[in-house]
Chains A and B, each alone.
Chain A
Amino acid sequence: MSLLDWFVMTGTLAAIVLYGVYKTRQVNNVESYLMGDRDLKWWTIGLSVMATQASAITFLSTPGQAYNDGLGFAQFYFGLPIAMVVLCVFVLPIYYRLKVYTAYEYLEGRFDLRVRTLTAILFLIQRGLAAGITIYAPAIILSTILEWSLSLTILLIGLVVIFYTVVGGTKAVSVTQKQQMIVILLGMFAAGVVVVMELPADIGLGDAIGVAGHLGKLNIVDLEFDLNDRYNIWSALLGGTFLFLSYFGTDQSQVQRYLSGKSLTESRLGLLFNGIFKVPMQFLVLMVGILVFVFFLFQPPPVHFNSANLDKLRNSEYGTELTTLEEDYARINERNQAATLTMVEALRSEDELAITEARTAVEATLEERASVARSVDGLITAYDAELITEDRDYVFITFVINYLPVGLVGLLLAVIFSAAMSSTSSELNALATTSVIDIYRRSLVPGRDDDHYFAASKWLTILWGLIALGFAAVANLFDNLIQAVNIIGSLFYGVILGVFAVAFFFKHVGGKAVFRAAIVGQSFVALTFVANWVEVIDLAYLWLNLIGCAITIAVAVVLETTQNRGLLSGEGR
């Protein structure tokens, strides 16, 4: 990396952090620290909500997803604007009227202390683990590509985030996220422009879109109904809306962002801003991936995008086989480039027969390329079965490092570090807030003065930061860590959502019934998970979300009805 890239990257990140610290220098009480004095404007809330959801993996992995599978992933977000409107109508007014710090605080007023504490603890477990992954996942990719130490990369991300989150609390999170999101959007837009400029001189954006479209990369909307397919319009509008309602409505890392608004109006506008711009933003990120795909039709891509895996193979007994495969790959790429140029000419002439023939030729060379890549994957597995052969997450960063001009490389690395920091800071802030408000101040050490809880909030932010760092540091000990954390999330998320669904939509159900229902729901989810683990049943873990939610609601309603009938019959006697 050049000196200018270092300057741009460190300068951008340092400027954002220092700006955040400067803007929050007056923070000196709990209200200010945990709620940002509730004075944020809608654009800050909107960008902050977007930045919380968009982790570094979003910007590393999403272009790679488009590179492999096209734009279909954009459908995943189709339920988000609907969820934003539902939250603005039903949930925000309630949170605002009660002036709650956390989503779980509302549950005490609606039910009782036990329900509040239970849901808060479930949130702390799942989000505490996720915070470690938010640091670890991008760190492993960045350390591989930049040839930095993994531990150093984890420490760099973690310590900077802990520093400004501890110093400025929730306002520091929001104001830095606003700057980070601006850098992210500018960086991704610049990357998209540069990809087009790096195409051969006579190939324009229109040609690139035409080629990608005819190779099936621009198929965004899939109308076919298939329960097993995550990316069709029906699963997006039904399942996606459900998922985003639970994430934005009950996850404190998001709830805290919009509760810091100056007014209900500002918070609503912030969420609606997210509703309007989230899908176009994801589309932009995916389009960058599509353009990178077209770029690598004219430029030979590496046979495998994870350079660390290739280096290991090259220095092993499989080195000769790898060299032979790379030579084959180079010859295929020459034919691929020629076939793509023929396709561009055919598209310009609008000759349907010529377009079909050219497309068939390009697809044939792409299949040959994929075949060689699979052979390399086989070599990697033969060398070390523990190595991950999926290289999708390395596609975009490989392009950034090798093909972007000096200066822009630094900006794009700042984009990825910014994304990692923005989502992690929200998580630490939410974990500290829930720990202080729902557990520490409410149940463990009540009745102390504001200074005490202000200090406790800072110490708990440090503690959660260290837990996240510790988890990130040992994350490589686990075989499939991201899946493990997703499973843990699925174990708890359904029950939390079920409790909130009862709170909002089943007004006759009380705290006793919902607490028991949550215990039953959580036990059933745990038993289902164990049954799946010992292979008594075969169930994808994502279904645990639905099972936990449905059982909690159903049992709560049945218990409440039974209790009421018992009371009525008692009164009748």
Chain B
Amino acid sequence: MKQPAAPPTADADTEKPPILGHWRNIYAVVLLLHLLLIISFYLVTRIYS
């Protein structure tokens, strides 16, 4: 029986980001900025509610 092709994994992904050394640091910055944005939105909501 023909075995299904396994999906490629991300292991071969070796490209470095231009800043912060590793992609996980970039992702952390993006998510942190998003969290700060949500917190600031929440504070605006609290001020007027």
- The 7 A-B residue pairs whose C-beta atoms are closest, nearest first, are A510-B4, A213-B48, A93-B13, A220-B41, A81-B34, A221-B42, A93-B10
Is A248 among interface residues, defined by CB-CB distance under 8 A? Answer: no
Is A448 among interface residues, defined by CB-CB distance under 8 A? Answer: no
How many pairs of A and B residues are in contact by the CB < 8 Å rule?
92
| A85 B27 Cβ-Cβ under 8 A | yes
Is A280 among interface residues, defined by CB-CB distance under 8 A? Answer: yes
Is A313 among interface residues, defined by CB-CB distance under 8 A? Answer: no
- Pick the contact of B30 from A71, A85, A94 — CB < 8 Å? A85
Is B8 among interface residues, defined by CB-CB distance under 8 A? Answer: yes
Scan residues 1-49 of chain B and give those whose CB is less than 8 A from a CB of chain A: 1, 3-8, 10, 12-13, 15-18, 23, 26-27, 30-31, 33-34, 37-38, 41-42, 44-45, 47-49
| A510 B27 Cβ-Cβ under 8 A | no
Contact status of A510 and B30, CB under 8 A, knowing A74-B41, A221-B42, A264-B13: no
16 contacts between A and B (CB under 8 A): A78-B38, A85-B27, A93-B13, A111-B5, A213-B47, A214-B48, A216-B48, A216-B49, A219-B48, A219-B49, A272-B27, A272-B30, A276-B34, A279-B37, A510-B3, A510-B4
Instruction: Kindly list chain B residues whose C-beta atoms are within 8 Å of the C-beta of A503.
Output: 7
CB proximity of A289 to chain B, nearest CB, Å: 16
Contact status of A265 and B17, CB under 8 A, knowing A81-B30, A213-B48: yes
- Pick the contact of A221 from B3, B16, B38 — CB < 8 Å? B38
- Expressed in whole angstroms, the Cα–Cα distance for A94 and B11 within the complex equals 10
CB proximity of A301 to chain B, nearest CB, Å: 23
Scan residues 488-509 of chain A and give those whose CB is less than 8 A from a CB of chain B: 503-504, 507-509
| CB nearest neighbor in A for B10 | A93
| CB nearest neighbor in A for B11 | A93
- Expressed in whole angstroms, the Cα–Cα distance for A262 and B6 within the complex equals 27
| A93 B12 Cβ-Cβ under 8 A | yes
Instruction: Kindly list chain A residues whose C-beta atoms are within 8 Å of the C-beta of B33.
Output: 81, 276
CB proximity of A276 to chain B, nearest CB, Å: 6
Instruction: Kindly list chain A residues whose C-beta atoms are within 8 Å of the C-beta of B26.
Output: 268, 272
Instruction: Kindly list chain B residues whose C-beta atoms are within 8 Å of the C-beta of A219.
Output: 45, 48-49
CB proximity of A46 to chain B, nearest CB, Å: 12
| CB nearest neighbor in B for A222 | B45
Contact status of A276 and B7, CB under 8 A, knowing A218-B48, A221-B45, A268-B23: no
CB proximity of B9 to chain A, nearest CB, Å: 8
Is A109 among interface residues, defined by CB-CB distance under 8 A? Answer: yes
- Pick the contact of B45 from A81, A220, A279, A511 — CB < 8 Å? A220
CB proximity of B3 to chain A, nearest CB, Å: 7
- Expressed in whole angstroms, the Cα–Cα distance for A263 and B33 within the complex equals 25
- Expressed in whole angstroms, the Cα–Cα distance for A269 and B23 within the complex equals 10
Is A82 among interface residues, defined by CB-CB distance under 8 A? Answer: yes
Q: What secondary structure prevails in chain A residues at the interface with B?
A: helix
CB proximity of A50 to chain B, nearest CB, Å: 15
CB proximity of A172 to chain B, nearest CB, Å: 27
- Pick the contact of B4 from A85, A93, A263, A511 — CB < 8 Å? A511
Q: Which residues of A contact B (CB under 8 A)?
A: 71, 74, 78, 81-82, 84-85, 88-90, 93-94, 97-98, 109-111, 213-214, 216, 218-222, 233, 263-265, 268-269, 272, 275-276, 279-280, 503-504, 507-511, 567
| B7 A275 Cβ-Cβ under 8 A | no
- Expressed in whole angstroms, the Cα–Cα distance for A511 and B1 within the complex equals 12
- Pick the contact of A110 from B7, B34, B37, B38 — CB < 8 Å? B7
| B8 A98 Cβ-Cβ under 8 A | yes
| A504 B7 Cβ-Cβ under 8 A | yes
CB proximity of B49 to chain A, nearest CB, Å: 6
CB proximity of A208 to chain B, nearest CB, Å: 13
Contact status of A507 and B15, CB under 8 A, knowing A82-B31, A221-B38: no
Instruction: Kindly list chain A residues whose C-beta atoms are within 8 Å of the C-beta of B5.
Output: 109-111
- Pick the contact of A94 from B8, B15, B18 — CB < 8 Å? B8
- Expressed in whole angstroms, the Cα–Cα distance for A90 and B30 within the complex equals 16
| B42 A220 Cβ-Cβ under 8 A | yes
Instruction: Kindly list chain A residues whose C-beta atoms are within 8 Å of the C-beta of B8.
Output: 93-94, 97-98
| CB nearest neighbor in B for A280 | B37
- Expressed in whole angstroms, the Cα–Cα distance for A110 and B38 within the complex equals 38
CB proximity of B34 to chain A, nearest CB, Å: 4
- Pick the contact of A220 from B15, B23, B44 — CB < 8 Å? B44
CB proximity of B27 to chain A, nearest CB, Å: 5
- Expressed in whole angstroms, the Cα–Cα distance for A268 and B38 within the complex equals 23
| B18 A265 Cβ-Cβ under 8 A | yes
| B7 A89 Cβ-Cβ under 8 A | no
CB proximity of A216 to chain B, nearest CB, Å: 7
| B12 A97 Cβ-Cβ under 8 A | yes
Instruction: Kindly list chain A residues whose C-beta atoms are within 8 Å of the C-beta of B16.
Output: 265
- Expressed in whole angstroms, the Cα–Cα distance for A394 and B25 within the complex equals 44
CB proximity of A547 to chain B, nearest CB, Å: 25
Instruction: Kindly list chain B residues whose C-beta atoms are within 8 Å of the C-beta of A504.
Output: 7
- Expressed in whole angstroms, the Cα–Cα distance for A216 and B3 within the complex equals 59
CB proximity of B26 to chain A, nearest CB, Å: 7
Instruction: Kindly list chain B residues whose C-beta atoms are within 8 Å of the C-beta of A218.
Output: 44-45, 48
| B31 A81 Cβ-Cβ under 8 A | yes
CB proximity of B7 to chain A, nearest CB, Å: 5
| CB nearest neighbor in A for B2 | A510
| A89 B10 Cβ-Cβ under 8 A | yes
CB proximity of B21 to chain A, nearest CB, Å: 13
Instruction: Kindly list chain A residues whose C-beta atoms are within 8 Å of the C-beta of B4.
Output: 110-111, 508-511
Instruction: Kindly list chain A residues whose C-beta atoms are within 8 Å of the C-beta of B34.
Output: 78, 81-82, 275-276, 279
CB proximity of B24 to chain A, nearest CB, Å: 9
| A507 B23 Cβ-Cβ under 8 A | no
